[in-house]
Amino acid sequence: MIVLDGKIAAQAIKDKLKAQVENFTANGLRPPKLAAILVGSNGASETYVASKVKNCAETGFESLLIRLDASVDETTLLQTIEKLNHDHTVDGILVQLPLPKHISEQKVIETIHPAKDVDGFHPVNAGKLVQGLPGFIPATPYGIMLLLEHFDIQTKSKHAVVIGRSNIVGRPMSILLSSNIPYGNCTVTIAHSHTQNLKAICLQADILVAALGKPEFVTADMVKPGAIVIDVGITRVEDATAKKGFRIKGDVAFNEVAPKTTAITPVPGGVGLMTIAGLLTNTLQAYLNNVTA
Ligand code: NAD
């Protein structure tokens, strides 16, 4: 069994991106720039945005963090996005989700210009993914594909089961794994909250991707011996003995599942770090499209 260490894979990708950026700036070009909008002060969102900003700096990207109060009205947020859409020095825009209830996430997603939509949530980019056209792939599934590539995990003709059908993880993941691309070409089953006999379906999986947001849901009895297990889940579980009062748990019961697998991602230290690598790779692509346009 090998642990698919997201730290190692993400660092290798960041090193490559950094070298590319150094090459561009040495030739007189500006560095890539990512603008992040954070509405309110949700603890997990603060952590994610801070990590994205830090990773930009480590990779030689510029970043711009725009903080808006939780009470900001939808029009002000949409106008802020429009301004960034028209700012030629900004290559990528992300709005950290979730948003307060009075703001439509769909409107926000659709206001980001598809050419700057480095989170890959805009319907135009989702459509391109379905049709196999170049566009921005949501950062988490993209990061998982980069992880499979880094560790050269063979996927062709394997049966992949993806638990979860969200627009940001499960559904795009199922499309990528079934696409005729490197580290794709799987036969894919997508499972969700209405799936019956989930255990029997999971037991057929050569590759099992858990993205349902239920801590330690996938247990050893649900995993085929020798499977590849990708754990996307990130849930804060209260724990008074932990320094911060909580621990991060994945969707897979790692300790009991790991010995049955050929390879497995840890949580933390797996898919989360690859998500940032996916985001930075998308931002560099947006930059290249922008500066060569
Ligand atoms: P979501 O709540 O939007 O979707 C969850 C999906 O799981 C739904 O499609 C639902 O049908 C399915 N589901 C729920 N209960 C189920 C059950 N009992 N059996 C089968 N399917 C079930 O969540 P999401 O945004 O896709 O995120 C999923 C998890 O991944 C969360 O823990 C989230 O925090 C985490 N996440 C991690 C990263 C990362 O970078 N590692 C990025 C995004 C999301």
User: CB–CB of 286/118 below 8 Å?
Assistant: yes
Ligand 1, atom 4, lies closest to the CA of 166
Q: Kindly give the number of the ligand 1 atom that is closest to the alpha carbon of 275.
A: 40
173 lines ligand 1 (CB under 6 A): no
β-sheet with 92-95: strand ranges across: 62-68, 33-39, 92-95
Fold of 28-114: Rossmann fold (3.40.50)
Q: Kindly give the number of the ligand 1 atom that is closest to the alpha carbon of 212.
A: 7
Q: How far is Cα 108 from Cα 182, in angstroms, rounded to an integer?
A: 32
Q: Catalytic: which of 96, 116, 117, 206?
A: 96
Q: Please tell me the distance between residue 159's alpha carbon and the centre of ligand 1 in angstroms.
A: 20
Instruction: Report CA torsion sign: 112, 116, 119, 122.
Output: positive
Predicted pLDDT at 293: 76
274 lines ligand 1 (CB under 6 A): no
What is the H or E stretch that residue 15 is in?
A: helix 6-26
Crossing angle of helices 6-26 and 139-150, rounded to 10°? 100
β-sheet with 263-264: strand ranges across: 2-3, 263-264, 228-231, 207-210, 159-163, 187-191
User: CB–CB of 53/93 below 8 Å?
Assistant: no
236 lines ligand 1 (CB under 6 A): no
Whether residue 119 lies in the annotated active site: yes
Residues forming beta bridges with residue 235, ordered by sequence position:
249
Query: CATH 3.40.50.10860 in the chain, residues?
Result: 28-114
Instruction: Report CA torsion sign: 268, 271, 272, 273.
Output: positive
What is the H or E stretch that residue 189 is in?
A: strand 187-191
Ligand 1, atom 39, lies closest to the CA of 272
User: CB–CB of 116/92 below 8 Å?
Assistant: yes
Ligand 1, atom 32, lies closest to the CA of 213
195 lines ligand 1 (CB under 6 A): yes
Q: How far is Cα 183 from Cα 155, in angstroms, rounded to an integer?
A: 5
Q: Please tell me the distance between residue 138's alpha carbon and the centre of ligand 1 in angstroms.
A: 14
Question: In tens digits, what is the pLDDT along the chain, a chain of 293 residues?
Answer: 999 999 999 999 999 999 999 999 999 999 999 999 999 999 999 999 999 999 999 999 999 999 999 999 999 999 999 999 999 999 999 999 999 999 999 999 999 999 999 999 999 999 999 999 999 999 999 999 999 999 999 999 999 999 999 999 999 999 999 999 999 999 999 999 999 999 999 999 999 999 999 999 999 999 999 999 999 999 999 999 999 999 999 999 999 999 999 999 999 999 999 999 999 999 999 999 998 87
210 lines ligand 1 (CB under 6 A): no
Q: Please tell me the distance between residue 173's alpha carbon and the centre of ligand 1 in angstroms.
A: 12
Predicted pLDDT at 202: 98
Instruction: Report CA torsion sign: 104, 110, 115, 118.
Output: positive
pLDDT digits (tens, 9 = 90+) for 54-94: 999 999 999 999 999 999 999 999 999 999 999 999 999 99
Tokens of 258: 């790991």
Q: Please tell me the distance between residue 288's alpha carbon and the centre of ligand 1 in angstroms.
A: 32
Q: How far is Cα 140 from Cα 119, in angstroms, rounded to an integer?
A: 9
Instruction: Report CA torsion sign: 65, 68, 70, 75.
Output: negative
Predicted pLDDT at 292: 83
Superfamily of domain 140-272: NAD(P)-binding Rossmann-like Domain (3.40.50.720)
Q: Kindly give the number of the ligand 1 atom that is closest to the alpha carbon of 267.
A: 41
Query: CATH 3.40.50.720 in the chain, residues?
Result: 140-272
